[in-house]
Amino acid sequence: MASGQQWVLVEMVQAFYEAPAYHLILEGILILWIIRLLFSKTYKLHETYKLTEKEKEDLIEEWQPEPLVPFVSKDHPSLNYDVVTGPPSHNIVINGKECINFASFNFLGLLDNERVKVSALASLKKYGVGTCGPRGFYGTFDVHLELESRLAKFMKTEEAIIYSYGFATIASAIPAYSKRGDIIFVDEAACFSIQKGLQASRSLIKYFKHNDMEDLERLSKELLRLCNPRKARVTRKFIVVEGLYINTADICPLPELVKLKYKYKVRIFLEESMSFGVLGEHGRGVTEHFGISIDEIDLISANMENAVASIGGFCCGRSFVIDHQRLSGQGYCFSASLPPMLAAAAIEALNIMEEDPGIFDLLSEKCRHVHKALQGTTGLKLVGVPFAPALHLQLERSSGSRDSDVQLLRALVDYCLERHVALTLAHYLEKEERFLPPPSIRVVVTIEQTEEDIQKAVSCIQEAASAILK
């Protein structure tokens, strides 16, 4: 055994002598480099230089911090408010001037309704002003449960859930169901609250062209082709649309959406803030308008700040779907619950809507009348379906500058305001909107507006357009 080891050692020495010189030099360099790495420090200590007190003071004096927020001129429109005095009902007092109200979303005229005010006042005396707690922390009052029950009954669904803030309703509902890895198809014209919900969900977002079902189907086919078949089984897919789009005053093609739902196995979330209390024989929204069973829609969301003339919002659907939000809806779990007096006001508004369904036909008739009267206005393009209660007037020809277009439309609004007709510009967070809509004037129709009011407003708008848009 010892002789064998000696023989190996002899062979190694012999191979060392027979190796080329460059090979030995290279190996020697590598060995020296390894030894250096093993014994050298991984970093060098830099000598610290202590500043004198004078040097410190000079540096502090020279330092200029970045501004906390960008500079905004004091003349910016958002910093100059039109102040309202009194209730924004049929007539509204703006900056001390009484005007006919074509600006507030008081579609059914319930904001200043005597029955609603009496109910809210009785609740105020019984419960106080607010709740000072979320629903899970002593913020659930009996009037909240009654309102949820009434909304579910009105919409003919199994269950409803209410939120204390309309914007937060759909913005909380979307991320409660759709998570990272899920897919959401959404209309390009979706409102800002939907956009915030999409952002919070961290899902894969696919925008399709406004009301373009061919584009939606194209996106669905592309994803089917690209998706891993194993992942496709567990990937949830959603379509998020509005019933009546607040940014375009268009109605969604719900029958076609329902067909695509079953063809591509997706869930539909329907935001009905502009169509609840407006469309359908009984004001139940787009499903009733098209004669589609509400069970075909996975989740319906709406705020109570338009037709119902209260505050907050609600979602309704099957019980197992709604109950999930009680644990996962951020706006529900972490915000103070809806003040009881506003819940009582909403209940009384529902009572009026159930007792007098003729108000929905009356609203539809007035919407069509205003839509027809505004057509052909010089220099302005009317945008929206005839039965939409909030129409848009856009410039027929843009100046090429958004700021200039906004100034022109602002001049039209001011012209009408001087003549006691209250209109409003449609406002957007321009840097945050995914697809920024063109500037527009919003014309809101309510059942309280008389034939004389409508004629005066239309004449004023046409006169303003002729005078300003030369």
pLDDT over 90 percentage in the chain: 70
Query: Do 373 and 277 share a domain, yes or no?
Result: no
Residue 20 lies in a domain: no
* One-letter amino acid of 247: N
Average pLDDT, the chain: 90
> Average pLDDT of 277-306?
95
* One-letter amino acid of 352: I
Residue 211 lies in a domain: yes
Residue 299 lies in a domain: yes
Query: Do 350 and 397 share a domain, yes or no?
Result: no
Tell whether the model's pLDDT for residue 184 goes beyond 80.
yes
pLDDT over 70 percentage in the chain: 93
pLDDT tens sequence across 94-124: 988 999 999 999 999 999 999 999 999 999 9
Measured distance CA(304)–CA(344) in Å, rounded: 12
pLDDT tens sequence across 67-89: 888 887 777 777 778 889 888 88
Residue 43 lies in a domain: no
Measured distance CA(306)–CA(277) in Å, rounded: 8
Count of structural domains, the chain: 2
Out of 323, 355, 387, a domain closes at 355
> Average pLDDT of 300-310?
94
pLDDT at 4: 57
- From residue 229, how far is each of 16, 233, 235, 261, 377 by CA, in Å? 60, 7, 10, 19, 54
Helices (H) and strands (E) in the chain — how many of each?
Answer: 17, 15
pLDDT at 229: 64
Query: Do 274 and 369 share a domain, yes or no?
Result: no
Measured distance CA(385)–CA(251) in Å, rounded: 7
Tell whether the model's pLDDT for residue 213 goes beyond 70.
yes
Out of 355, 374, 391, a domain closes at 355
pLDDT at 39: 76
pLDDT at 429: 87
Query: Do 139 and 155 share a domain, yes or no?
Result: yes
Out of 293, 328, 355, a domain closes at 355
pLDDT at 235: 81
Tokens of 379: 């220099």
Q: Single out the residue of 160, 216, 161 nearest to residue 188, CA to CA.
A: 216
Hey, is 183 helix, strand or coil? strand
- Are 184 and 178 in contact by the 8 Å Cβ rule? The answer is yes
Question: In the structure, what pLDDT confidence band is assigned to residue 470 with cuts at 50, 70 and 90?
Answer: confident
pLDDT at 311: 94
pLDDT at 29: 86
pLDDT at 12: 66
CB atoms under 10 Å from CB of 287, counted, come to 24
Query: Do 167 and 242 share a domain, yes or no?
Result: yes
The whole-angstrom distance between residue 67's C-alpha and the CA centroid of its chain comes to 29
Backbone φ, ψ for residue 217 (5° rounding): -70, -35
Tell whether the model's pLDDT for residue 8 goes beyond 80.
no
Query: Do 349 and 378 share a domain, yes or no?
Result: no
**CATH classification at residue 386:** 3.90.1150.10
Question: In the structure, what pLDDT confidence band is assigned to residue 55 with cuts at 50, 70 and 90?
Answer: confident
- From residue 125, how far is each of 130, 145, 398 by CA, in Å? 11, 19, 53
pLDDT at 86: 86
pLDDT at 102: 95
Tell whether the model's pLDDT for residue 465 goes beyond 80.
yes
Residue 29 lies in a domain: no
Query: Do 312 and 371 share a domain, yes or no?
Result: no
pLDDT tens sequence across 223-274: 877 666 666 666 889 999 999 999 999 999 999 999 999 999 999 999 999 9
Backbone φ, ψ for residue 30 (5° rounding): -60, -40
**CATH classification at residue 298:** 3.40.640.10
Residue 131 lies in a domain: yes
pLDDT at 117: 95
Domain span at residue 276 reads 114-355
Measured distance CA(434)–CA(189) in Å, rounded: 9
Tell whether the model's pLDDT for residue 47 goes beyond 80.
no
Query: Do 363 and 412 share a domain, yes or no?
Result: yes
Q: Single out the residue of 469, 398, 40, 426 nearest to residue 249, CA to CA.
A: 426
Tokens of 79: 């910093």
Residue 52 lies in a domain: no
pLDDT at 232: 62
pLDDT at 20: 77
Measured distance CA(461)–CA(466) in Å, rounded: 9
Tell whether the model's pLDDT for residue 59 goes beyond 70.
yes
Question: In the structure, what pLDDT confidence band is assigned to residue 6 with cuts at 50, 70 and 90?
Answer: low
Query: Do 189 and 335 share a domain, yes or no?
Result: yes
Residue 194 lies in a domain: yes
Question: In the structure, what pLDDT confidence band is assigned to residue 291 with cuts at 50, 70 and 90?
Answer: very high
> Average pLDDT of 357-361?
95
Query: Do 277 and 374 share a domain, yes or no?
Result: no
Query: Do 130 and 259 share a domain, yes or no?
Result: yes
**What letter does residue 135 receive in the DSSP assignment?**
I
Dihedral, 69, 75, 77, 81 alpha carbons, nearest 10: 100
Query: Do 309 and 231 share a domain, yes or no?
Result: yes
Measured distance CA(362)–CA(284) in Å, rounded: 15
- From residue 440, how far is each of 249, 391, 398, 433 by CA, in Å? 12, 9, 11, 15
391 pairs with which residues across the strands? 443
